[in-house]
């Protein structure tokens, strides 16, 4: 969060209320983690006196076209948001500003007052957003590196099927790859792969190239309809269809969607909600996953999550984790067999949304400690049995005394 629907709603709000107006005053936060490549004072000077001509978006990035460059661009990250004073703009999980809060918010990164008195602000409580001042946002990263926009530039069905046939990575990781298709984030990816209404039923770790043409076509339809619907209702989740996964996927809490159990795995480096009763791996892929030894996760302990650059999610080799989602039948193996020990990962993302955290309750560590302690006890018993005897042994005991 926010993803394409939320950013598009913000763009439309600016378009409806700010176009044609001149910037009278600006306050830019002195926060180099968010405000990239320019001082706060220079940023402010570049805005004041300029007229807002248009508001554009690609993927999860938004930028304002002024009557002359440079132009401010906003990469929303995990908690970026646009607020217009006195105007209802859809809020979402992790948004920080409430109607009763101070204005502008203490989390404001760019505050703008227009010549008619209207005020708006870009806020970011968690400081993973990036705000830039660019001569041409479309020709500079990250926007220049984005793939087709999922709302405005979605490939045709035939092009989509053809492109998937060449991709040897897990389907969710591919959908999160902003250079392949831009605007899809964690919740949209989970939704389109599950899609109860349109019967997508695609396992998030299914290799893209292994999908049938029918599955590819269904996925294409799901992407189109989910994104369009979310935008149509102003990204207001209370208006999303009640059978959508969205309503049940947050917090990694045990639960059910449409009567089916939800489980959580890691796919594309992100916590992923899916319904194993419906979203099944193909037989060949499931069999291969069980027969092959699992590789260690590439993430190291303490590795910083990609969430601080949420618009350039890198596809991880998540097919290595397929075996985690392929569970043996009860009683098929004795206790302790087939268990996996997930690599620990410390993340700064630990709020109500679980998108970038993997929980580890320490249970596996305790089991490992028990194994180590048992080995040590056995070693000690063995050493006691091997006490030196004979003349050399007596001498050794005397020396020890």
pLDDT of residue 251: 85
Model confidence pLDDT, tens digit, residues 35-93: 999 999 999 999 999 999 999 999 999 999 999 999 999 999 999 999 999 988 766 55
What angle in degrees, to the nearest 10, is found between the helix axes of 213-232 and 186-194? 130
For the segment 207-223, the average pLDDT, to the nearest whole number, is: 97
pLDDT of residue 299: 42
User: Strand pairing partners for 123?
Assistant: 81, 108
pLDDT of residue 90: 66
Which of 112, 88, 129 minimizes the C-alpha distance to 234?
A: 88
pLDDT for 292 beyond 90 = no
pLDDT of residue 351: 37
pLDDT for 137 beyond 70 = yes
Which of 128, 1, 18, 20 minimizes the C-alpha distance to 84?
A: 18
At 253, give phi and psi (nearest 5°): -85, 140
How many percent of the chain have pLDDT more than 70?
Answer: 69
For the segment 95-108, the average pLDDT, to the nearest whole number, is: 79
Which of 338, 344, 336 minimizes the C-alpha distance to 370?
A: 336
For the segment 145-154, the average pLDDT, to the nearest whole number, is: 98
Which of 76, 27, 19 minimizes the C-alpha distance to 50?
A: 19
Q: Distance between CA atoms of 300 and 229, rounded to whole angstroms?
A: 39
| pLDDT confidence bin for 322, thresholds 50/70/90 | low
Structure tokens that stand for 387 in this block: 């006490």
pLDDT of residue 198: 81
Residue with tokens 């109860």: 196
The C-alpha angle 112, 113, 117, rounded to 5 degrees, equals 155
Structure tokens that stand for 358 in this block: 């993997």
pLDDT for 300 beyond 80 = no
What residues contact residue 167 under an 8 Å CB cut-off, 6+ apart?
174, 180, 207, 208, 209
User: Strand pairing partners for 80?
Assistant: 124
Model confidence pLDDT, tens digit, residues 237-247: 999 999 999 99
User: Using omega within 30 degrees of 0 as the cis cutoff, is the peptide bond preceding 70 cis?
Assistant: yes
Q: 276 with 325: CB under 8 angstroms?
A: yes
The C-alpha angle 154, 3, 35, rounded to 5 degrees, equals 115
Structure tokens that stand for 172 in this block: 């969710």
Model confidence pLDDT, tens digit, residues 152-201: 999 999 999 999 999 999 999 999 999 999 999 999 999 999 998 788 99
pLDDT for 301 beyond 50 = no
Structure tokens that stand for 268 in this block: 């594309």
For the segment 257-277, the average pLDDT, to the nearest whole number, is: 94
Residue with tokens 């490992």: 368
For the segment 284-289, the average pLDDT, to the nearest whole number, is: 78
**Active-site amino acid positions:** 2-3, 60
Residue 204 three-state SS:
coil
What residues contact residue 126 under an 8 Å CB cut-off, 6+ apart?
77, 78, 79, 94, 349, 351
């Amino acid at each position: 969060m926010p993803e394409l629907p939320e950013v598009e709603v913000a763009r439309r709000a600016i378009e409806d209320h700010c176009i044609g107006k001149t910037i009278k005053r600006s306050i830019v936060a002195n926060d180099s983690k968010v405000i990239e490549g320019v001082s706060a004072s220079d940023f402010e000077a570049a805005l004041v006196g300029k007229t807002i001509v248009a508001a554009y978006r690609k993927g999860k990035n938004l930028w304002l076209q002024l009557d002359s460059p440079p132009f401010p661009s906003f990469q929303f990250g995990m908690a970026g948001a646009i607020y217009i004073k006195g105007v209802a703009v859809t809020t979402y999980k992790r948004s920080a500003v409430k109607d009763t809060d101070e204005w502008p918010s203490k989390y404001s990164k760019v505050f703008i007052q227009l010549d008619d008195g209207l005020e708006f602000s870009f806020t970011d409580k968690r400081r993973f957003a990036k705000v830039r001042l660019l001569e041409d946002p479309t020709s500079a990263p990250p926007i220049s590196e984005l793939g087709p926009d999922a709302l405005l530039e979605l490939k045709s069905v035939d092009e989509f099927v053809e492109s998937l046939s060449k991709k040897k990575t897990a389907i969710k990781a591919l959908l999160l790859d902003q250079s392949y298709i831009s605007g899809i984030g964690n919740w949209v990816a989970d939704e389109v792969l599950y899609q109860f209404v349109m019967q997508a039923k695609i396992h998030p770790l299914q290799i893209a190239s292994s999908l049938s043409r029918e599955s590819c076509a269904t996925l294409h339809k799901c992407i189109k309809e989910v994104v369009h619907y979310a935008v149509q209702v102003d990204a207001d989740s209370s208006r999303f269809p009640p059978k959508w996964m969205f309503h049940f996927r947050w917090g990694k809490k045990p639960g059910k969607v449409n009567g089916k159990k939800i489980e959580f795995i890691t796919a594309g480096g992100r916590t992923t909600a899916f319904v194993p009763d419906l979203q099944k791996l193909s037989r060949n892929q499931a069999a291969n996953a069980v027969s092959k030894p699992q590789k260690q996760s590439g993430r190291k302990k303490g590795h910083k999550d990609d969430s601080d650059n949420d618009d350039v999610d890198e596809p991880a080799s998540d097919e290595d984790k397929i075996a985690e989602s392929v569970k043996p039948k009860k009683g098929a193996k004795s206790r302790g067999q087939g268990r996996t020990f997930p690599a620990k990962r410390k993340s700064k993302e630990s709020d109500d949304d679980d998108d970038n955290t993997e929980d580890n309750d320490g249970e596996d560590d305790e089991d490992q400690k028990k194994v180590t302690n048992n080995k040590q006890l056995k070693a000690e018993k063995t050493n006691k049995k091997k006490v030196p005897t004979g003349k050399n042994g007596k001498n050794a005991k005397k020396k020890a005394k």
